[in-house]
Structure 1
């Protein structure tokens, strides 16, 4: 294929060499991943394959043992979960129990300064 001469835009999300261990279990082992702006990305895998661990690491709920997570070129690894420009809706165990599902979603939007 001929090159158009245009550089590809940088990825919106870049995960570089991400490793997460829980005691003797390695949940993620030097994972590399890039997702571009506007891309549809699906994360599929069996139980225990690391899907939730990856999402929790991006959201800041799990501290990686190695690697970096960059969002729009900025390393977000040192940001606490409430300062990261991402929102995650986990299954019921991670929701605010006193809020409805809509309230849980709205909480994240309010943290970002979104209006109705």
Structure 2
């Protein structure tokens, strides 16, 4: 996938606080791109807007030639139609589901065999074999983050967004 991302948005939080992001960047398959800035500068807001989880007050988002958001025209593509995986800063694991069910959550519509295979592959890749039946409460912060990463990657999204991906590194 070679696609261009164009993000030109503004979000007002108060009379004094406005977050503006303007960027156009080509993305290649498996390429990592970082959005960096000081704490409170709007990185999480920009990622949430890009994923469709929040809406900008004004602006446009285009990815791969497709308009995801254009506030002037009233366009807002639903998050589930964007093909975006999102690793939340706080992981957002479902506490009532075990590790395997958390990872498989976004795989509805696939056969049970395909879901199980994808879950197994991701847990192996992220060194979480044997954790399938554990509750998120039984995991370290780093293990929870890896489960959340597996869940975000499981549907094979076109774009994978990671909010604070290095915050809970462990071995």
TM over 0.5: yes
Residue 112 of structure 1, CA deviation: 8.3
CA distance in 2, matches of 1:112, 1:46: 40
The TM-score normalised by the length of structure 1 is 0.70
The counterpart of 1:22, out of the listed 13, 16, 25, is 13
Aligned length: 104
**Partners of 2:3 and 2:26 within 8 A in 1:** no
Tell which structure's C-alpha radius of gyration is larger.
2
* Residue 32 (structure 1) aligned with residue 23 (structure 2): yes
The TM-score normalised by the length of structure 2 is 0.50
CA distance in 2, matches of 1:43, 1:102: 30
* Residue 79 (structure 1) aligned with residue 77 (structure 2): yes
Kindly provide the CA deviation profile for residues 54-86 of structure 1, in whole angstroms up to 9, marking residues without a partner as x: 110011111011111112110112122222210
How big is the alpha-carbon RMSD for the aligned residues of Structure 1 and Structure 2? 2.6
Residue 47 of structure 1, CA deviation: 0.8
Which secondary structure does the structure 2 equivalent of 1:14 belong to? strand
Q: Do the aligned partners of residues 73 and 18 (structure 1) sit closer, same or farther apart at CA in structure 2, a change above 3 Å counting?
A: same
Matches within 5 A, 1:67-106: 67-77=59-69, 78-92=76-90, 94-100=92-98, 103-106=101-104
Q: Which consecutive unaligned segments of at least 5 residues does structure 1 have?
A: 1-8
* Residue 61 (structure 1) aligned with residue 53 (structure 2): yes
Q: Do the aligned partners of residues 48 and 102 (structure 1) sit closer, same or farther apart at CA in structure 2, a change above 3 Å counting?
A: farther
* Residue 46 (structure 1) aligned with residue 38 (structure 2): yes
Q: Do the aligned partners of residues 103 and 22 (structure 1) sit closer, same or farther apart at CA in structure 2, a change above 3 Å counting?
A: farther
The corresponding residue for 2:155 is: none
Q: Would you tell me which structure has more helix in proportion to its own residues?
A: 2
CA distance in 2, matches of 1:73, 1:64: 19
